[in-house]
Each structure stands twice: as C-alpha cells, then as structure tokens.
A and B are shown apart, each in its own frame.
Chain A
Amino acid sequence: MMTAHPTGDGELFAALPVHDEAARHRLHARLVAAAEQAGILDVAYRTIDTPVGTLLLAATDQGLVRVAYASEDHDLVLRQLADRVSPRVLRAPARLDSPAKELDEYFAGRRSRFDLPLDFQLSRGFRRAVLSHLTEIGYGTTASYAAVAAAAGNPKAVRAAATACATNPLPVVVPCHRVVRSDGSIGGYAGGTDVKKTLLALEAAA
C-alpha cells in the first residue's frame, strides 16, 4: 500500500529507512499506551498458542468479547470486530493478560472454571440467553442441545440452541464444547469436531 514515488530522486532518501523495526515497536507501544489512557482503545487483541492452535483473544473495556480459532480466519474476525464493535482496534496484549493466563492454565489442566469479565455484546436475544446458561455445565460434563434450550427458557428451540452454540463468540471460555446431541454423538463445533473432542478429552483426563 506504499505509494509509488513519483520520481527517480529516491537515492536522496535511501538513507531514511522505510522499515525501521525498532522505531515501529517503540511507536506502537507508545500509541497503545496513549490510546488506553485517552479511553479510545475500544478493542484490544492478541494471540496465544494452545494445543488447539493459535487463538485470537479480543477485549473491550467491559471484558473479553471474542475468542477465535485460526480456522475462523483471524484477519476476517478482526474486520468483523471493526464493523460490529468499533474500528479502533489495536494489538495490545496487556489488556488480555488475565484471559491469556487463565487459558494457559485451562489447557495445562490446572483450571476448571474461568473467572473473567465477559462482554456478550456480539450475541443478542435467545442466543445470548443460551450462552449465559452454558457456564452452568460443569467442567468435564456434557449437556444436550435440548437441555440447553430448556435452560434458556424455550425447550422447543433445540435448533436455535444449536445455532447459538455454533455462533458462540467466546468458545472455550463459554463452554459450548460441552453441548452434545441427545443421542450421544458429539455434534458440530466452530473450531471443528476434532477440537471439540480434544477439549472434552482434556477435561475428562484432568
């Protein structure tokens, strides 16, 4: 996206670096700090490496707003956050320190529940009601989509409950992986059924 220079006078400025990594890091950190202080860092994000791949974590000043698997395409997820939450989005790991630490502990088998402020603004209505009840499904156990629909106040809305789980903006932390089909088969998952199996196996072993 660098503009083509309109001239052959580039030699004059060859000494002025186009890519200056030290300056880039220094200025980016300074921008993050200034934006945070000014209250305009609407969405902070970072990535973490886990046994189920690289996860994108994003937080507003209200709390964790999005957890995304690499298969969801992190660039696309960031664009969606820019559209639906705010375009003032910066890579700013400090705000995600607690979620990153708790997820590390979870994947190490040392944490069975998350103690984090959550921002559910990406979910509305019945889907949000479903998600808020998912945390009641204990670590290492499962529930059926029908049971989740009933807990959210509409026992007939089994398909809608499944959609709520499939579109969960906070996977792992809001444990939609613990929701399975009534016949005992595993059901779908945003991160793929292999990831769902991995998470259930992790919880069964811990």
Chain B
Amino acid sequence: MTDELVPDQADAPPAAPPPKDPTEDAAASWLRRVSSSGSTVTVLAFVLALVIGGILIAVVNPAVTAAAHYFFAAPLDTFEAAWTAVSEAYSALFRGAVFDYQADTFAKAIRPLTETMTVATPLIIAALGVAVAFRAGLFNIGGQGQVIMGASLSAYIGFTWHLPAGIACVVALLGGLFAGAVWGGIAGVLKARTGAHEVIVTIMLNYVAISFLAYFLTTEAFRVPGSAEPKSRTVRPEAQLPLLFGSQYRVTWGFVIAILAAVFVWWLMSRSRIGFQYRAVGFNPNASRTAGFSVQRITVYVMLTSGALAGLAGAVQLLGTSKYLTDGIAGTIGFDAITVALLGRSKPLGIFFAGILYGGLSAGGRFMEAVTGTPISIVLVLQALVVLFIAAPSLVRTIFRLPAPDAELKGATA
C-alpha cells in the first residue's frame, strides 16, 4: 500500500477514543474482553474441533448407522446411539490422556498423564525447532527427516561407542543434535545459495531420510547380528536417558530436556543478539540486509538451529523411549511438530502446553482405539481442525457470534 492510500495517523484529526457505551457495565465489558481474547478463541477452536470430530465418530459408528435405518420410527435411538459412541470415544480419550478413573490404584490412574508427558517430550522439542524457523520467516516442513537423522546417529553412537555413564548419554544426544542440524542445514544452505524454496527441499529431504533409514537398517553396522529384521541393536544402558519418576512410569529426563530447550528458545528469540537477527530477517529480509545482517548466513543458522532441535527430539525419543531404531522411529513427530508450533503460536510457553495437549491426544488416541475401536487417525483430524480455527480467529468469532476485538478493527485498516 502506498503511504497515501491510508491517511497518516498523525495528520488525521485527533483520533477519538472508541465511543463508550454508558450502559455497558464493568461485568459486560469484562465479558466482552474475555470473549474476544486469544485464549477464548483457542478454547472455542478446540470445542469446535471436538464437535466436528464427534460428528465423524458418530457417523461411522455401526450402532448409529443401524439406528439411523429406522430413524423416522424412533429418532431418539439414533441420537442416543450417537451420544453413546461419542461419549465413549471421548471419555476413553480422556482416560488415556489424563486420568484413568477406572484404574485400581492412584499410581495407575495417573499413568496416562505420564504417558502424555512421554509422548509430548519429543513433540515439544521438535516444535520448538519449527517455531524458530517460523519466526525467522522459514517453513521447516522437514522435521520428520531431521528427527530420523537425529535418532539414527544417536542410536549408532548409543550402541557402538563405549563411554562412561553420563557422558555416553550426553554424547549420543549431541550426536542427534548434530545430525538434525546437518539435515536442516542442507535446506538452509540451498535456500541461501540458490534460492531453492525450503518447503520443497525439506519435504524432499524427509523422503531421502526415510530411504537412508531403510538403508541403515539393512547394514551390518546397525542390525542385530544374525537377525533379518529391520531393527537396530539396542542402545547401551549408559547411553539411555534415565527415568524421571522411577520404573513405574516411562517418563525420562527427556522431559526436563524439553523444558530446558523451551527456556533456551525463549532466551534465543527474546534476549539474544542472534535471535534478534533471526526475527528481523523473518519479518523483513531487506531491512535486515540494509542493517548489515547477512541474510544468507542467518538463513543457514536458522535452519541449523531448527534442524538441531528436531534432531535432539529424535535423539530423546530414541534414547528415552524406544531404545532401538526401527523404520517407524519418527512416528509422525516431525509433522505433528508443525501443528504443535502453530497451536503454540511459535512461543516457547505456548508450545510447551500445545505439546502436552497433542501428547495427550496421541496417548489418549491409542487408548481410545484399543478400547472403543475408534481409529486413531481421528486425532489428526482434530489437530488439523484446531490449527485451522486458531489461524482464522474471525471465523471462530463468526461461528460463535463473538464481538471482534479492538485490535483487529485497527488491523483491518492498517
């Protein structure tokens, strides 16, 4: 837009404060503020996604379909069946994610929560990597490949190098970090040197990494001697991440690493000089160049950082949870990390909670599939819907007929 399409604020008549409705009392104005705030939209987006997910669950449920055949004879049966299907699925989701109220002991009842933490750990770390790239204006869709490379190298170090306890684990973690950084760095270098778009390059590198992993698992260096199974040797005990809450739960020190990583990313993006450059380049590469930042170099650094975090996520997953390499080692961590980063609005604290939420959905989803037979892929649908709704707050407001916040009014004209 030209300067003139929108009048200069300073030259326009003094901006009157928004007219205040005298009848609006304090409570109403509070309600108005809350209902238009970001966190309300987040909650409502989640509700909306659960509603749509519920409809899907109900529609495909055999009992519901059966009842629907005589819908006009007894319509209530259909709704009852739908309610049963959805409530069973969602309560199983809850029991698998947070608190299993049907368990005999308290220790068992809170196990789902610890499972959620376990699943969330690599998600949080990888999502932090995605977020660093996002905030520097880059789309790292290659988390999956970086996770795979990180897990592969940390596994290799973990089962071949004989190092003392403590050191072994740290070295294996650093190995994963390094491998992920290299994998991300390739995309950074190509972007900086040739302008190749990082979205395409990182996606392609995912497939290349998958092929590499498949190759690794055929080699003598990785495979269990004498076995034809595509499965690597198990990481030596010294290199494994120690458990955090004892042998009853699977949570490892990886969870602490995730918290430390979040703190690190907070410092990096909000306090450090290099992070200042990351953000500047992300918002306006031209002005950054004029300010003397090397956009090329920053682009490479950003992808190195982003990849390193994803690689660390892979290492943590391997050394903490799975202990050996298979072709499914990365699960969908790399892709889920993108939605976690979006849901957490690319802020470390937001990502921490978004990661826990997604960890819960995954852990709960498995439980739900086992108990009610609802396919776990419904979780993907929920994830995608939540992020879509959060990305378009005005859509959510339209659906729930909420007032638009003042900030957005201004944004519309600026």
Q: Do A and B bind each other?
A: no
Give residues in B with beta carbon < 8 Å to A.
none
A residues at B contact (CB < 8 Å): none
